[in-house]
Structure 1
Amino acid sequence: MESIKKLIILCCVFLGMLISCTQQTLNFDQVDDLIAEPVMEASILYVEAPERIINQATETNFFSQDFNFDAFSSDFFAERVIEGTVTYEVENATSKALEVTIDFLSESGDILDTEFFEIGPAPPARVLQREIPYGGQGRSIDILINTSSIRVSAENLGGTATTSPFPNANITLKSKGKFKLSVL
């Protein structure tokens, strides 16, 4: 008899817990309010040129290269990107004043966007950092979606006779992107 009383009490407590943990009305429309916008971050470019190569160049334009870059135009990215930021960092440890130009190019080779950096000679080593927003209040997100390649070119404004006091004097360009995507 004692075990039946315990079983009845246990069932009443369990039933009470079930009733207290449920809402009177269930809202199945909550999924409509769900917003899924993950942030994706990735490296875009890394280019480095030692000062000895700059000194060997016969023209002031010592570097020009087109890099195939279809990541922005891939269906996964192009259909989901909402906004983002491309961050550039240019470090000059050479004895040269330099100009660096970065062009985003369409599949047909048209220039969609350009960033220009003018950086003085070392010492001390010079670092420029710039963030460029796309989408929202920034530049058009269509620039990124239509980018098929990236052109990097650099000019030496400081001659070929001087050398930096740094043992591994380089000009280094790094860039990365941070983008908000919609998955719904």
Structure 2
Amino acid sequence: MKGFLGRLLLAFILVPLIFCSCTEEQDFNQFNDLQITPLVASSLIYLESDEATINAVGGLGNFYVQTINFDAFNEQFVSENLLEGTLFYEIDNTTSKQLAITIEFLDAANNVLDVESFDVQPNQPTTFMREVDYGPTGKNLNILRETSSIRVAASNLSDSTSISSDPEPKVILRTAAEFLFQLK
């Protein structure tokens, strides 16, 4: 009997406390104040060539030319919501060659919108890095929005006979990008 009375007393105390507890009215309109700005990162271009391939093409010639389709911003929603972008370039060159690498951003009519050029010194002891901003603190953001393809060209500015002392001489170009979008 004591157990039953104890439970009944506990129920009489807890039930009013539950209804009198501190609750705050919920605001479901917070979604209208929400700002969503995701940062999307991606690799773009990877080029690797060994010194034998560069020598086979001969001196003072292109050893690599490629046009890459780039329709990342062809969707209107994506293009309109792009706030800024940053492209990252890294180049390693352990060959005995002085090289020129050119990256051109082309629109749908193959007009050049922007160019990044690199004079790559032979036997670089460290990785060359460049960061290029597009948007409020950098180049015009419309360059990225209107880019339909990217042309990459790499040229040998040296002879075709010199050989690096590195056991596996090669040039490597890596590019990556980060894009900031406003989704709401």
Q: TM-score, normalised by structure 2?
A: 0.89
CA contact (8 A) 1:94 1:125 kept: no
Partners of 1:88 and 1:71 in 2: how far apart?
A: 18
1:29-48 matches, within 5 Å, as 29-48=29-48
CA contact (8 A) 1:97 1:156 kept: yes
C-alpha deviations, 1:110-135, integer Å up to 9, x for none? Answer: 0011101111111x544211111111
Aligned to 2:95: 94
Q: Alignment partner of 1:21: what SS?
A: coil
The 1:164/1:141 distance shift into structure 2, 3 A limit, reads: same
The 1:54/1:121 distance shift into structure 2, 3 A limit, reads: same
Aligned to 2:131: 131
Q: TM-score, normalised by structure 1?
A: 0.89
Q: CA deviation at 1:28?
A: 4.4
* Deviating 4+ runs (over 6 angstroms): none
Q: Does 1:10 align with 2:14?
A: yes
Aligned to 2:120: 119
Q: Alignment partner of 1:87: what SS?
A: strand
Q: CA deviation at 1:33?
A: 1.7
CA contact (8 A) 1:98 1:158 kept: yes
Q: CA deviation at 1:27?
A: 4.1
1:137-156 matches, within 5 Å, as 137-156=137-156
Aligned letter for 1:56?
Answer: A
Aligned letter for 2:15?
Answer: C
Q: CA deviation at 1:177?
A: 0.5
Q: CA deviation at 1:3?
A: 3.4
CA contact (8 A) 1:38 1:181 kept: yes
Aligned letter for 1:90?
Answer: I
The 1:169/1:16 distance shift into structure 2, 3 A limit, reads: same
The 1:99/1:62 distance shift into structure 2, 3 A limit, reads: same
Partners of 1:2 and 1:65 in 2: how far apart?
A: 84
- CA-based RMSD: 1.7
1:161-176 matches, within 5 Å, as 161-176=161-176
Aligned letter for 1:94?
Answer: T
Aligned letter for 1:55?
Answer: N
Partners of 2:33 and 2:68 in 1: how far apart?
A: 41
Aligned to 1:104: 105
Partners of 1:126 and 1:155 in 2: how far apart?
A: 20
Task: State which drifts further: 91-100 or 29-38.
Answer: 29-38
The 1:129/1:167 distance shift into structure 2, 3 A limit, reads: same
Count of aligned pairs: 179
C-alpha deviations, 1:41-91, integer Å up to 9, x for none? Answer: 011110111111111113522222111111233345313211110101111
1:75-90 matches, within 5 Å, as 75-90=76-91
